[in-house]
Amino acid sequence: MIVRTLDEITDTDRDVKTPNWRSKRIVLAGDGVGFSVHETVLGAGTVNDFWYANHIEAVFVTEGEGELYDKDNDVTYQLGPGSIYVLSGNERHQLRPRTEMRTVCVFNPPVTGREVHDENGVYPLIRIEPDETAAGAQAEVQKTRVEEAS
């Protein structure tokens, strides 16, 4: 079992910051569950071009409002709390938040946390084996929490 908080991830190597967005990688490939989960906050008024050519991404908006532009099909969608979009066809897309927008993103295959968007907004496909060290460390954290609660 994996239990993590955003506070545990903040300002670690799982907390990736750019001028336009900040992504906290809650679950990564090394956790061995077959997908990754991120909380991503996009800045108001930013324009963000992405293309996940090697991944399927689902994005659930929890706060904020903006637009999703499907560059492959020339369609614009309005987004707000409760909206979800799934890039099931690896669509090239652009996110344009009107307000700060908080999202929860799921990737398949999972990202490792080492990916960097290239000039087209693409993450390379990096495959790794589950990190037994990370699983062991998480078990130790859980054991400590249980002992502290007793």
pLDDT digits (tens, 9 = 90+) for 75-117: 999 999 999 999 999 999 999 999 999 999 999 999 887 666 6
Mind listing the pLDDT tens digit for each residue in 61-71? 999 999 999 99
Looking at residue 130, its pLDDT comes to 65
pTM of the predicted structure, to 2 decimals: 0.80
Closest by Cα among 109, 129, 97 to 53: 109
Structure confidence by residue, pLDDT tens digits, 117-146: 667 666 656 666 666 545 544 444 444 444
Which DSSP string corresponds to the chain? -----HHHHTTSTTEEE-SSEEEEEEE-GGG-SSSEEEEEEE-TT--EEEE-TT-EEEEEEEE--EEEEETTTTEEEEE-TT-EEE-TT--EEEEEESS-EEEEEEEESPP-S-----TTSPPP-------HHHHHHHHHHHHHHHHHH-
pLDDT (0 to 100) of residue 113: 77
pLDDT at 35 over 80: yes
